[in-house]
Structure formats: C-alpha cells, structure tokens
Amino acid sequence: MLNLLLVNLFGLLTPGPDFFYISRLAASHSKRNAICASFGISLGCLVWATSAILGLAVLLTTYPSLQGIIMVLGGSYLAYLGILMVKTNTNVEFESAEPEKSSKTSIGKEVLKGLLINLSNAKAIIFFSSVMSFVLVNLTETWQIITALFLLTLEVFLYFSFIALIFSHKSVKRFYSQYSRYIDNFAGIFFLCFGGYLIYSGFSLGLGN
C-alpha cells in the first residue's frame, strides 16, 4: 500500500488543473477558500479511484486472464508519463494576479468548485486505473481496498491543503516557478521505474496464460 501512496504522491507533484487552481486561489483569495476547494478535489479523486477500482474488479472477475494484460497496459501508461516528465526542460509559469479581497463564498460552493475542477479531467480515470491495477493484485480483502481508497483521498486532501498554505507566500511560489522542471524530472524517473515494475510483473503472470 505504501507503493500506491508513493505513486499517487509523485502524480500529484506534476502540475495539472488541480494544482494551478489551488495555488492561484491561495495566492489571490484566501487559504480558507483554497482548503475548501482542496476537499472538493479529494472527493473528485475518490470518485475516479472508486470508478477505476470497480471497473477493474468487474473485468477481473469476468475475465481473470486479463490481470497480466491490465498490469502491462497500466505500467506502459505510467512509463509513458515518466518519459514525458523526464523530458521536461521548462519551468512552470503562473499568471500574474494581484491578491484580491477574501471572498465570502460559502464552504459548500468552494468544495463544489474543487470537485468540478477535478472531475473535468477525464484523464484521471486512466491514471487511477493504472495505479489500481497494482492494488488489485496485492489487496484481496474488501476492507483493504476501502482502506486504500481512504488513504488515497486523505493524501490528496492533505497535499492540496499543504499547497494552499505554502502558496499563500509569494516566495514559495517564486521558488517553485524556478525549479519545477527538476521536480518533474525526478517524478518522471520514479514513474518509469514503477511502470517498468508493473510491466515486468504483468509478463511474469504470462499475460494471463
């Protein structure tokens, strides 16, 4: 389960719509709004992860021979992401925005915004399917899968809450803009290694033979 959390963490380190939304919200509005939106994003990840794991569970129950194939495909996707990140040679650029007065938007509205931002990224289902292909091989009990989903959701919430806190400081935002490509490169190496491990494990299963 530690491997699952590590892969998800390195996935979070790669800037995407969620990251830019939270960092900009924290910088231009308030930490409160950004943390509420972080909770919404974590709920979105729970939806994607649950959808992925239920879909894979149905497939593997119906066609047990697909286990090795799914692991190879999932590993290939993670390795592909890793290659893209290793090749990154530019830093992240944020749109300049002057801090605005803290909005009195309700907690529910901010949570909904975060949820919709996350659900708008349909590629997340591919990522979670890749990660969950590893989980289903090692976690066989229902309570273990529920625990994995809970820990994933908690990790996402804590990560984006942390982003909300630190990006309320201009110095941190400036530092990240200068060195983000190196973070991408390091995360890419990890993705390549883990993707390679999944591919090897899939072939070891004989692709279901």
Extract the tokens encoding 96: 């300049």
Q: Each residue of 102-152: pLDDT tens digit?
A: 455 678 888 998 898 888 766 676 777 777 766 666 666 888 888 988 999
Which range, of 43-57, 121-135, 153-167, 190-204, averages the lowest pLDDT? 121-135
Question: How confident is residue 43, by pLDDT bands cut at 50, 70 and 90?
Answer: very high
Q: Is the pLDDT of residue 37 over 90?
A: yes
Q: Each residue of 78-95: pLDDT tens digit?
A: 888 889 889 988 887 766
Extract the tokens encoding 172: 């941190």
Extract the tokens encoding 128: 């979670």
Q: Is the pLDDT of residue 159 over 90?
A: yes
If one counts every other C-beta atom within 10 angstroms of the C-beta of residue 201, the result is 18
Burial of 112 (0-12, 13-18, 19+ CB in 10 A): middle
* pLDDT of the residue at 42: 95
User: From the DSSP assignment, how many helices (H) and strands (E) are in the chain?
Assistant: 8, 0
Measuring CA to CA, which residue among 15, 131, 24 is closest to residue 84?
15
Mean pLDDT, the chain, rounded, equals 80
Q: Which helix (H) or strand (E) holds 199?
A: helix 170-204
